[in-house]
Chain A
Amino acid sequence: MMTRTFNFIDFLKIAVIEVAIFFLIMVFFNIESVWTLVAGLILVVAVVVYAKVWKRQFSSFAEIFSSNKPAVLGVLLVLLLLYPLVGPLMIKQNTYWLLTLIQTGIYIILALGLNIQLGSTGVLNLAVAAFYGIGGYTAGLLALRLGIPTIITLPMGGIVAALFGTILYVPLYKTKGHYMALVTLAFGLMIVLALDNTEFTGGPQGLKAIPEISLLGYSFLTKPGGLHFYTNYYYLTLFIVLLAVIISYRFYNSWVGLTLATTRDDEIAAKCCGVNSNIWKGISFITGNVMIGVAGALYAHMIGFISPHNFSFAESLLIVAMVILGGLDNILGIIVGTVILWILPEKMRVITEYRIFIYGILLLVIPMFRPRGLLPFKPRKYHPSVVKVKD
C-alpha cells in the first residue's frame, strides 16, 4: 500500500514547480518579439519530448504530483487567486491578459457544459453558441428592459437556455447520431437569424450598454484597491469555473456519469439494464445548456455589448474543437484544450499574418498525434476510497 502521509518535501517540490510554471506563464505573456516566442514554443516542445524520452526521471515527478492531488490543486488555487495581485507587477499589458484569462474561463464553462452533452452522452450539440447567446440575451434583456438585479439575471441566463433546450429536445430525441447534430445545427442558425431580425433584441445592432454585474450592492465597476475593475470579473469567473469543474467532476464520478456513458457507448445495452435513455439524454442536454447559458449571461454583463455576430456557428465549432481536442469526457483535458485554443492564438497576435495558419496546423497536428484528445478519458473512480483494494 502507498503511504498517504503528508510529506513536506513533496509539498515543497510541488509548490516550487507550480510557482515556477506560474512565473514562466507570466513571462510568456510578456514576450513581444516573434523569435523569442518561437524559441519559447520550441522549448516547451523540447520539454515535452524530454519527458517522453527520459521517462524515469519525469515519472518520479509525475508520481509526486499524482499522489498529492489536494496539494497540487491547493497550490494552483492559491496561485490563481494571487494572479490579479501579482499580474500588474509582472505583466506589461496586464489588463489585456486579465481579460483574456476571463474569456478563457468563460470558454472553460462553455466547454464543460458541452462536454456533458458531447463527451459524456455523445449528443453533438452544434448550437452551443446559440445557447450561449440565449443566456447572454436573456441576462441583457432582463437587466436592460426590466432592471432586474444581476444576482437573478445570471442564473436566469442558465434557466432560459435550459428552457430552450427542453423545447429543442422534443424534436431532437427522435433523431440519432449525425441527424441529431443536424437538428441542433439548424436550431443554432435559426436563433442567430431570429436575433438578427427581431426589433426587440436590437436586431443586428445587438444590445448595448448592458449594466455591469453588481452583487449585494457592490458594483463590479469599482476598482478594488486601485486594480483594474476586471479583477472583480476575474474572481467571479474563477468562482463559476470552479463550480462548473466541481459539478462536472461529481457528475462524472457518479451514477449520472455511468448512465450517460453507457447510453453513449451502447444504447440498447443501457436500455436493457433499465436505463430510460431518452430521459437521460435530455437531462444531460439540459444540464449542459444551463452551464452554457450562465456563461453567456456572465459574458453579456462583463462586455456590456452583445450582437448576433458573437454567437455564430463558427463560435460553436470553436467550442466543439476545444472539447474534442482536449479529450472527450476528461475535465482536465478540456481545460487544457480550451487554454491552448484560446490563449495560444491570442499570444500569436504578434505574428499577425501567420496566426490563423499556425492555428490551423495545430488543429491538424494534435489529432494526428493524440487521436483521442490531448488527455483521453480515464477510468471512472467514483471516489479514491472506492478503488482502494481490501487486504
Chain B
Amino acid sequence: MQNNKKRIFYSTNLEMNFGGLYALANINIEIFENEAVGLIGPNGSGKTTFFNVITGIYKATGGTFCFMDEELLGREPYDIAKKGISRTYQRSRLCLNLTLFDNILIGMYNNQTAGYFAALFNRKKLINEVKAFKEKAVGLLNVFNPDLTDKLFNPVGGLPQIDRRRVEICRAMAGDPRMILLDEPSAGMTPDETAEMMDDIKKVRSTMRNVSIIIIEHNMSVISSVSERVIALNFGKEIARGTYAEVSNHPEVKDAYLGKEV
C-alpha cells in the first residue's frame, strides 16, 4: 500500500545503549512521504529516546538512520535540523521571556539570509526579511488561534499551556520541514483541550503539503484519529506495527499496557 509513496526516512537496527541499558534496540522504522505515524508504548519504552536520537541530541550507539537518502548518524542537531527535521518537546521548550514572534522566528533560522553583517550594515535587507517572516508567523498563528496574533509581541510566559504548545508547533512548522516530530502534544491538557489539539494536528496536515509527522501520544483517541499507521514500542523494541485497529488489538501491545496474566 505504501509502495507508490517515496520513503523519506528509515532506520536500520538503530540502537541506543545507556551504559548497558538498551533504551532502543533493533529499531527498523520507515517513514513515507506525507503520512502521519503514531508512536505508542508505555512509559520508558524508548519513544522519546527515538526522537532524541534522530534529532541528534543523543548519538546512537549502533545501527544507522537515513533521511532524504542521506545518512545522518552522528550528525549534530543543527545539521539534522537543516536537513528538514523539526520537533516539539514533551516538556515545552519555549523561551518564556521572549515574545511569541521571537519563538516562532527562530524556527525559520535555516531560511534566514541576513546574518551578522547584515545586522550591522544592511538593516534594510534584515528588516524586509523580518517583515516577510512576520507575515508567515501571523499566517501560521491564524491557522491555530487567531487571537494569538494580537499577542505577537508579548512574552510566551503569559500564555496558557495549550497556546504555548501551539506556538511550539508553529515554531516546528515555520522552517518548512519535511518531517515533524510531535512529542506528546496533549500532555498535561484537559479532555477539551486535547480535542482542540487533535484538530490542530489535523490542521498542520491540511496547511502543510509534503510533510510527514511522527507523533508520540498516550492518548489513544488522538492516535486513532490523527495517524494512519501506528508503531508500538516496549522496552526499546518494536512490538507491533500496522493500522490503529491492528496494533491496538495486538496481544503484545495489550500485555505491554495492561500487564501479562500470571
Interface of A toward B, CB cutoff 8 Å = 247, 250-251, 254-259, 261-262, 265-266, 268-277, 283, 377, 379-383, 385-387
Of the candidates A265, A275, A379, A386, the one whose C-beta lies within 8 Å of that of B130 is A386
Inter-subunit contact B89/A254 (CB<8 Å): no
Main SS of the interface on chain A?
A: helix
Question: Does B109 contact A275, Cβ atoms closer than 8 Å?
Answer: yes
Cβ B78 vs Cβ A276 within 8 A: yes
Residues of A within 8 A of B55 (CB): 272
Whether A258 contacts B81 by the Cβ 8 Å rule is: no
A251 to B118, CA, bound (A): 10
Known: A382-B126, A382-B127. 14 other contacts (CB 8 A): A247-B120, A250-B119, A254-B114, A255-B119, A256-B119, A262-B102, A262-B106, A273-B107, A274-B78, A274-B81, A274-B109, A274-B175, A379-B155, A381-B153
Minimum C-beta distance from B228 to chain A (A): 25
- Among B56, B95, B134, B155, residue most surrounded by chain A Cβ atoms (within 10 Å): B95
The answer, among A256, A274, A385, for a CB contact under 8 Å with B127, is A385
Given contacts A255-B126, A379-B154, contact A271 B120 (CB under 8 A): no
Task: Give CA–CA (A250, B99) in the complex, Å.
Answer: 18
Give bound CA distance, A275 to B108, whole Å. Answer: 10
A380–B99 touching, CB < 8 Å: yes
Complex contact A273–B106 (CB within 8 A): yes
Q: Which 5 A-B pairs have the closest CB atoms?
A: A254-B119, A265-B95, A271-B77, A274-B81, A269-B93
Taking Cβ atoms with an 8 Å cutoff, the residues of B that contact A are: 55-57, 76-78, 81-82, 86-87, 89, 93-99, 101-102, 105-107, 109-110, 112, 114-116, 118-120, 123, 126-127, 130-131, 134, 153-155, 171, 175
* Cβ-defined contact, A266 with B97, below 8 A: no
Q: A262-B95, A276-B76, A381-B153 are in contact. Are A386 and B134 (CB under 8 A)?
A: yes
Minimum CB–CB distance for B15 against chain A, Å: 22
Q: A274 to B93, Cβ gap below 8 A?
A: no
Hey, which chain B residues are within 8 Å of A247, CB to CB?
120
Nearest to A251 among chain B residues (CB) is B119
The answer to whether B109 touches A265, judged by C-beta atoms less than 8 angstroms apart, is no
Bound Cα distance A256, B131 (Å): 16
Q: What would be 13 A-B contacts, judged by CB atoms less than 8 Å apart?
A: A254-B118, A254-B119, A255-B109, A255-B126, A259-B106, A261-B102, A265-B98, A266-B95, A268-B57, A377-B97, A379-B155, A386-B127, A386-B131
Contact B126 A258 (CB under 8 A): no
